[in-house]
Amino acid sequence: MFGILKKKLSKAIKSISEKFKEKEEIEKEKPIEEEPVKEQPIVEEHPVVEEKLVEPLEFKPKVAPKPEVVKPKIELEKIKVEKEPEKEVEKKVEKPKKKFFIKRAIERVTRKIIAKKLDESDLLPVLGELEIDLIEADVAVAVAEKIKNDLLKDLAGKEIKRGKEKEVIVAAFKKSLMDILSVPEIDLKKVAAEKKPVTLLFLGFNGSGKTTSIAKLANWLKSEGFTCVLAAADTFRAASLEQLEEHANKIGVKMIKHKYGADPAAVVYDAIEHAKAKGVNFVLADTAGRVHTNKDLMKEMEKIIRVNKPDLKILVIDSLTGNDAVLQAQAFGELGVDAVVFTKVDVNEKGGAILSVTHELKKPILFLGLGQEYKDFEEFDAEKFVNNVLS
């Protein structure tokens, strides 16, 4: 599941990490500029030494008459005088050496922990490739561009310590993806606590999986302790009534139906009245698949909505439709979609449509269809989805 999207994101994370490592190698190759030790203190002391050496020569007459004895005294005195300034010179020269050594050590340690930076010129080639990869994974162009710009903003010029590259890059990806998926949530349990019955109207293209999703949701609601009734408002498609009725019998819930060709708005109305009379929590209304180019069917949907005022209009999208999912979202968005259910997610290796549709509608994803069984129906968790595609 989502294998292609995961592969594309992993590739981008690896590429950006390598860019940081390349930057690190360049930093390592830069030589440390050492400040030369100044010899000035030594030069300044020499004149003082020469002046002190002249004074002993003035006392030659006072020294013993033997020249042999006088010379050693002068030599000893001279050596003594010379040694004292040498010590002073050594102390003065040693201080700058120690300071320089500490400074150099600090630079070396700092270089090991100092953060590396990448500028826009480093990131743009990688992010440009990422944008193409995302589009190949069914991410809409506008969404792919947003992700690219988010990463550029968060990573360009950002300081990253050694060994933290992947962690920081993954965090930047997660922030961008979560921003796309951060839309107002809908909790059906809370909605049911505020109103009874709650009417859910399902709509979508032909073959998107509306009927199966209704059956799975009915099973989920029943497992959560709620009651529900199904409304067979798809009076257009052949065998649609029998299909939904079979699901209702298997799950153990009531279904309201009329004859084929009946007014679907009337079917939903009767189901709502039944729910009110029996104290049922939810009405799940199935409708015929339709495309936005079929004006008669779109007007029929407008009538269903106008007459019954459903609490939530839920768009069901086949996740395998790829970038067409955005077109479907745009077409039904005009009717006022409140939430989305994605089907066939278990066999979807791309997953980009989830990001694209959420970005287009700014509405939450309620459930993901993950298989053929009734239990294969999972509440959508944005953080779980993001962690999955980034793992």
Q: Cα separation of 343 and 347, whole Å?
A: 9
Q: Which residues pair with 365 in a beta bridge?
A: 340
Please state the rounded mean pLDDT for residues 121-128.
86
Share of the chain above pLDDT 90, in %: 48
The answer, yes or no, to whether residue 31 has pLDDT greater than 80, is no
Written as six digits, the tokens of 336 are: 């006022």
Q: Stretch 20-48: mean pLDDT, rounded? A: 53
Q: Residue 277 pLDDT > 90, yes or no?
A: yes
pLDDT over 50 (residue 354): yes
Average pLDDT (153-167) is 83
What pLDDT does 218 receive?
97
The residue type found at 57 is L
319 and 354 Cβ atoms separated by less than 8 Å = yes
Three-state DSSP state, 195: coil
What pLDDT score was predicted for residue 228? Answer: 97
Residue 81 Cα distances to 49, 51, 55, 73, angstroms = 8, 11, 11, 12
Q: Which pLDDT value is given to residue 66? A: 53
Q: Give the contacts of 209 (CB within 8 A, at least 6 positions apart).
A: 316, 318, 343, 344, 369
Closest Cα to residue 352, out of 389, 382, 304? 389
CB 289 within 8 A of CB 208: yes
> How many Å apart are CA 258 and CA 276, to the nearest integer?
19
